[in-house]
Structure 1
Amino acid sequence: MARYIFITGGVVSSLGKGLASAALGALLQARGFTVRLRKLDPYLNVDPGTMSPFEHGEVFVTDDGAETDLDLGHYERFTGVAARRTDSVSSGRIYSNVLEKERRGEYLGKTIQVIPHVTNEIKDFISIGDDEVDFMLCEIGGTVGDIEGLPFFEAIRQFIHERPRGQCILMHLTLLPYLAASGELKTKPTQHSVKELQSIGLAPDVLVCRSEHPIPEKERAKIALFCNVRPDAVIPAYDLKSIYEAPLAYHRAGLDRAVLDAFQISPAPRPDLSKWEDVIDRLENAEGQVNIAVVGKYTQLEDAYKSIAEALTHGGMANRVRVKADWVDSEKLEGEGAHLLDGYHGIIVPGGFGERGTEGMLAAAKYAREKKVPYLGICLGMQMAVIEAARNLAGMPDAGSEEFDHEAGKTRFTPVVYHLKEWVQGNYTVQRKVTDDKGGTMRLGAYTAVLTPESRISEVYGGAVQIEDRHRHRYEVDATYRDALEQAGLCFSGMSPDGKLPEAVEYADHPWFIGVQSHPELKSKPFAPAPLFAGFVRAAMQEGRLV
C-alpha cells in the first residue's frame, strides 16, 4: 500500500506546487523509493483540451491519450515516470462521472450529493494504482479557500481519516511576502492559510515557504509555533536560476528529510543525487550559446510552449551549450518580414490551431529552406513546411489546409492538409467527423512512425526504423500529394505503419530541416533529451560555428 503525500497551496496561486511536487518525487527516487504523481484540478472543464493556451498554458499529452495540465510535464521531466490518464482529473471529470452513473441507475435511486457521491468519486480516483508504488504524490490545484476546491479538500480529509495512521501526510506551500518599507518578512498570510486548512479538518505536516529573501531562524520558529508544525518541517523555498536546481535546493533545505520524518521512516536510505549534480554541471558549465527563434502563435505566454522551452534546454545540456530561445510572434513576421529571423542559428515552428499567424509560419519555413538554417517543424510546423513546399516548389500556389477553409466557411485552398477522418489506434479504427465534439476527439497519445532507413530523422534516432512519439492534432498532411512533393525535393521520411499518414518530412539537400507531426518535446527529460531536440541544437551549433 502506497504512502500518500497531498500537496496544497495557500496565500496566492502560481507559487510552484507542481515544481515542488516534482522535485520531491525526484528526491524520494534518489533515496530508492518508487513514486507516482497526480494532479487534482478544481476547474469545471472536463480537461484542458479545449482551453485557450492563453488561458491555461500548454496542454500536456500522455502516452494513453489524456490531455492534462502542464504540471504533469514537470512530473515526467523530474522523475522519468510516464504519466497516465489516471494521473490527472478535474472537477468537471468527477461531476461528469457521477452524473453518468446516476443516469445509468448505479446509485439505486439515491439523492446525489457532494457528500458522499462526489467525494467518493474523488477518493476512488486518488486510490488508483495504490499498490504500484511506495509514494503517491497528489497535488491539488488552486489555493485553499477556493470554493471550487472544497470537494477535493473534504475528500482528502476523509481519505486520510480512513487510512491507517501514518499513511498520509499533508505538505502546504505558502508565500512569505517581504515589506520593503519595514524590511520584514511577514508570516501572517501563512498563518491564515494554515488556519483555513485547519478549519476544514486538515493540518499540514510540512510547510514549504516561498520567499525572495532569506528566512531567519526566528521567523521559522514563529511559523512552526503558530502553524503547529515541527521547526525542521518549515522548509524555505527561494527563487532559482533554473527549475532543475530544485531537487538539490530542496534537499539542502531538508524537504525530503522532513517528509520521511513525518512518515517516521528512520533511518532513511542515503540519497544518490549524482544525476542531478550532472544536470546542474551541464547547465552551469555550458561551452557557448546558440540562439533559436521559436515562431509561434501564442508567444505572449511562454507557458503555452513550456515543453518546447524545456526540451531546448535539454538539447543544450546534451551538447553542453546554452540555448537562448526568442519567442517570435508569427503575426509580427507577417507584418515586418522574415528578415526578423536574421542571425538566428535555428528556427522552430511549433504546434497550434487556426489560421491566425500561419502566413508568418510559412515565411519562417521558407526562410529556413532558402537560407539553409536548421529548422524543426512540430505538428502545425510540419504542416506549414509541407504547404510552403507545395506553394513554392511543387507548383500549387493555392495550397493550404482544410482547417482554414472551415474557419472561412468556403473553399479557398487546395487542401494538402485535411481533416483527419479515420486512423488506426492499436487494434481499432477510429473515425471522426468535422461535426464531432471538440474535446478529446483529436488523434491523441503515442503512435508509431516507420522511418526511411538512412534518412536524417533515422540518423537522429540512432539508425532506428521505428519510433514512438505523442500526437495531438485533428488535421493531417494528405499523403496523395506525396509524389508531387517528393519530386519537388521534400522527402516523406516517416509514415504511419499502414503507410497512410505522413509522420515526418525533410529535405535531403538541406543541412538540417525536419518536420514531424508528433510532439517529441513531450517526452524530453534533462537526463534523457529528446533526440530531435539534441540533434537540432547540434545543427544550430554548426550554424553558429560552435563545433
Structure 2
Amino acid sequence: MTTKFVFVTGGVVSSIGKGITVASLGRVLKSRGISVSVLKLDPYLNVDPGTMSPYQHGEVFVTCDGSETDLDLGHYERFIDVELTRASNLTAGQIYQDIISRERQGEFLGGTIQAIPHVTDAIKQHMLSLAASSEAEVIIVEVGGTVGDIEGLPFLEAIRQMRNEVGRDNVCYIHLTFLPFIMATGELKTKPTQHSVRELRSIGIQPDVIVCRSDYEVDEGIKRKISIHCDVPLSGVITLPTVDTVYEVPLILEDEGMGELVIETLRIESASRDLTSWAALVEGIKTPKHTLPIAVVGKYVDLQDSYISVKEALLHAGVSHDVDIDVRWVRSEDIEQQGPERLLDDVRGIVVPGGFGQRGVEGMILTAEYARTRMVPYLGLCLGLQVMVIEMARNGLGKAGANSTEFNPVTADPVIDIMPEQRVVTQMGGTMRLGEYPCELEADSKARAAYGVPSIGERHRHRFEFNNDYREAFESVGLWPTGLSPNRKLVEIMELAADKHPFMLGVQFHPEFRSRPNRPHPLFKEFVTAAKDTLREGGQHSLPLGGTKQGSDAKRTG
C-alpha cells in the first residue's frame, strides 16, 4: 500500500485554525473508511514544548508513550479518535539536535552540513518513517506557523520535495488563509490571500485547495476572484466561517466538498461517507436542555488554551448529560485576594487543573477547602490532587504548615514530595514522569464505579507525588487512596469518603487527554453527574439547573 500525504500550510496570520482544520479533515476521511494518521511540524528551535510557558504555547499535550507535544495533537486525537505517539510531532529543535549529534559522531565523513539536503532529508525521512510505522492510508501533515516565516522554510522545502519523492498522485497541498473584513468599506479582502499563495508558489508549491477562514459570509464572486488569481479550480476554494462549536467544522468541510476534493486529488477509492453520529453530536452540543456552571480555578486561565483539554473534556461530559457546561475561568490568585465565597458562590462544581510553581497555589488550597466544607463537587487534576491533600493536612490533620516540597522545601510536613528518582535529575526537558502508567482501582470507590473496571491506564506529567508516610493519617480522616500503582507504592487517586462529601476526588494523572466528544472520560462524566445532583446544604431537592448561558442564579445556603 502506498501512503498518501496531505500537507496543510497557513497564510496571512497565525491562529486561524489550522489544527482544527487538519483534525476535521481527518474526521471527514475517517468517515469514509480511510485510515488516517497525523503529523505536526513545528519550526521552533525548542526540542519540545515541555519547558515552554503556557502563556507562550498553551497546553502541553502528553501522548501515551510519554512525549510532550503541541496542543494540536489533542485536537487530532479528539476528532479522529486515535492515539498518537511522539512520531506525530516533529520540531526544528529535534531535527537540528539529531543532525548535530550525528555530525559530532563523524557520520557525515567530514562533509559540510547544509539545510539542503541534510535538514530537508531528515524531515522527509521522518515523514516516510511515520508512513511505514503507522500503516495509515493517508497522513495529514500540518506545517506550523505561516508561509514566509524564516524558520519554516526548511519544512516547506521538504514538503515541496515530497511531491517527487512519493509521486504527484500521492500528494495534496491545502493552504489555509484568512479573509479580513474592512469595516469602513464593508468588504472582505482577498489580497492577503493572493500574496500568501504567491509566496507559497515562489518556493514551488501550488495549492490544490485553498480554505478561506472568515467571520463573514463569503459570496461566489470572492471565491471566483481567489480561483482566478491563485490558479485553483473554483471547486477548490473552500470557505470556512466562524462557528459556535469547532466540532461543526467537519460537517462544513464535507458540505463544501473537501472530502471529495482530497480523495479525487489523491486518487483514493473510499466507502460512502457517514457523518450521521457526528452530526448528532453537534446537534447535542448546540441544543442542550440546561446550563451547568462549573469553575476552573487555575494559574493560567488568562490563556484558556492552557487548559484546552480540560475545557473539551467538560464539554464532552456535558453533552452526555444534555447540559451546556458554562465554564467559569477563575484565577487562583484572585481567590487569594478576594476569597472563594465571592468567586465560587454560584457554581455547581469546581475543577482545579495542573500547573507548576508556587504562584496562585494558596488560592487553589482555599478553593479545595471551600469545595470540601460547602459540599461542592470537586475534581483535582495533578496539582489539583496535591492542593486537595495539602488542604486536608492543614485543616483535617491539624498540620498548619503542611505543604509540597515544590513550594516549601523545608516544610515540617511534606505531604507532597518529589519522587525519589527525580532527586538526581538536573535537566528540565522530558525528564518528568511522562506518559501512560497502569493504576489499580480499589473496590467500592467512586473511581472504580466511574471506570467500571478494576485497572486502568492514564497519562502522567509530574515530578511530585503523595507522600506515603502520611497515608494512614489521611485515612483516619476519610481521605482514601483509591487508585494505586500495581506495586501499591504510588498513590494515583485520592477521594474523600462518601459519607463526608458527594464527590471530592483528585488524580495524579491527566484524564482530560483521554476524553473524546463521542466517548467522554468516565471521571469527567461522573463529576458532571455529581454537579447536577448535588443538594443544597440543608435542603431536600437538587439545585435547579440554569436555563441560560450565564448559568444558574441559584445560591448555596451556608
Normalised by the size of structure 1, how large is the TM-score? 0.95
Is 1:365–1:385's contact at 8 Å kept on the other side of the alignment? yes
1:329 equivalent in structure 2? 331
1:121-520 to structure 2, matched below 5 A, reads 121-131=122-132, 132-265=135-268, 268-339=270-341, 340-406=343-409, 411-422=410-421, 432-433=422-423, 435-462=425-452, 464-508=453-497, 509=499, 510-520=501-511
In the aligned structure 2, how far is the partner of 1:525 from the partner of 1:101?
A: 40
Q: Which SS does the other structure have where 1:190 is aligned?
A: helix
2:14 equivalent in structure 1? 13
1:96 equivalent in structure 2? 97
Cα deviation, residue 395, structure 1:
2.4
In the aligned structure 1, how far is the partner of 2:524 from the partner of 2:42?
A: 31
Structure 2 counterpart of 1:133, one-letter code: A
- Tell me which of 530, 542, 545 is aligned to 2:543: 545
Q: Which SS does the other structure have where 1:127 is aligned?
A: helix
- Which stretch shifts more, 107-116 or 329-338? 107-116
In the aligned structure 2, how far is the partner of 1:219 from the partner of 1:164?
A: 32
- Which stretch shifts more, 221-230 or 32-41? 221-230
Cα deviation, residue 385, structure 1:
0.6
1:85 equivalent in structure 2? 86
1:50 aligned onto 2:76: no
Structure 1 counterpart of 2:13, one-letter code: V
In the aligned structure 1, how far is the partner of 2:201 from the partner of 2:86?
A: 31
Aligned residues: 532
In the aligned structure 2, how far is the partner of 1:52 from the partner of 1:62?
A: 19
In the aligned structure 2, how far is the partner of 1:420 from the partner of 1:488?
A: 25
Q: Which SS does the other structure have where 2:130 is aligned?
A: coil
Q: Alpha-carbon deviations, 1:79-122, whole Å to 9, x = none?
A: 01111100001101110011111112221221111111111111
Structure 2 counterpart of 1:73, one-letter code: G
Q: Which SS does the other structure have where 2:90 is aligned?
A: strand
Is 1:351–1:380's contact at 8 Å kept on the other side of the alignment? yes
Give 5+ residue unaligned stretches, structure 1.
423-431
1:546/1:529 Cα in 2 relative to 1: closer, same or farther (>3 Å)? farther
1:524-535 to structure 2, matched below 5 A, reads 524-535=515-526
Q: Which SS does the other structure have where 1:169 is aligned?
A: strand
Is 1:315–1:537's contact at 8 Å kept on the other side of the alignment? yes
In the aligned structure 2, how far is the partner of 1:413 from the partner of 1:99?
A: 47
Cα deviation, residue 479, structure 1:
1.3
In the aligned structure 1, how far is the partner of 2:467 from the partner of 2:423?
A: 17
In the aligned structure 1, how far is the partner of 2:436 from the partner of 2:516?
A: 17
Is 2:24–2:79's contact at 8 Å kept on the other side of the alignment? yes
Structure 1 counterpart of 2:296, one-letter code: V
Is 2:404–2:411's contact at 8 Å kept on the other side of the alignment? no
Is 1:402–1:413's contact at 8 Å kept on the other side of the alignment? no
How well do the aligned residues superpose, as a CA RMSD in angstroms?
1.2
Cα deviation, residue 546, structure 1:
5.5
Normalised by the size of structure 2, how large is the TM-score? 0.94
Structure 2 counterpart of 1:535, one-letter code: E
Q: Which SS does the other structure have where 1:130 is aligned?
A: helix
In the aligned structure 2, how far is the partner of 1:452 from the partner of 1:264?
A: 52
Cα deviation, residue 129, structure 1:
3.0
Cα deviation, residue 258, structure 1:
1.6
Is 1:291–1:324's contact at 8 Å kept on the other side of the alignment? yes
In the aligned structure 1, how far is the partner of 2:481 from the partner of 2:4?
A: 49
Q: Alpha-carbon deviations, 1:424-468, whole Å to 9, x = none?
A: xxxxxxxx3355111000000001111111111100112x21111
In the aligned structure 1, how far is the partner of 2:369 from the partner of 2:394?
A: 10
Aligned identity (percent) is: 49
Structure 2 counterpart of 1:513, one-letter code: M
Structure 1 counterpart of 2:517, one-letter code: P
In the aligned structure 1, how far is the partner of 2:267 from the partner of 2:195?
A: 28
Q: Which SS does the other structure have where 2:255 is aligned?
A: helix
Structure 1 counterpart of 2:210, one-letter code: L
In the aligned structure 1, how far is the partner of 2:502 from the partner of 2:408?
A: 34
Structure 2 counterpart of 1:71, one-letter code: D
Cα deviation, residue 130, structure 1:
1.5
Cα deviation, residue 277, structure 1:
1.3
1:117 aligned onto 2:118: yes
In the aligned structure 2, how far is the partner of 1:454 from the partner of 1:271?
A: 44
1:425 equivalent in structure 2? none
Cα deviation, residue 270, structure 1:
1.7
Is 2:11–2:146's contact at 8 Å kept on the other side of the alignment? yes
1:201/1:213 Cα in 2 relative to 1: closer, same or farther (>3 Å)? same
Q: Alpha-carbon deviations, 1:117-143, whole Å to 9, x = none?
A: 111111111112314011000000000
Q: Which SS does the other structure have where 1:404 is aligned?
A: coil
- Which stretch shifts more, 280-289 or 348-357? 280-289
In the aligned structure 2, how far is the partner of 1:188 from the partner of 1:277?
A: 34
Cα deviation, residue 78, structure 1:
0.1
